Amino acid sequence: MIKIKNYIAERGFSVMLCGMLTAVVGVVGYMYFQSYPARFEKTPLPTVTVVLAFTGLAIYVIGRVSLAIQRNRARKRPPADDDE
């Protein structure tokens, strides 16, 4: 679990892009399956694509939060020593 947290913390932008790509694939797949309702009426594929889209959005949010945390860490530097 710690390895997963470290991976997400170090690669927030990559995780964010992966989530966005997953969400887009889910939305495009859903649009395709809805354009042929008679063919895919009795299959679980439209539901799977909706779940894929929401999963992609969740991954995107996780990557976005990780990226914000990375940027806040970069801004918080110790104050300069002005005693000289």
For the stretch 22-54, pLDDT in tens is 999 999 999 999 998 888 888 999 999 999 999
Look at the block and give the residue holding tokens 């939305």: 27
pLDDT at 50: 95
pTM of the entire structure? 0.77
Confidence of residue 16 (pLDDT cuts 50, 70, 90): very high
Q: Which residues of 9-42 are buried (b: 16+ CB within 10 A; e: fewer)?
A: eebbeebbebbbebbeebbebbeebeeeeeeeee
Cα(15)–Cα(60) distance, integer angstroms: 7
Q: Which helix H or strand E contains 84, and what residues bound it?
A: none
pLDDT at 84 over 60: no
pLDDT at 48: 94
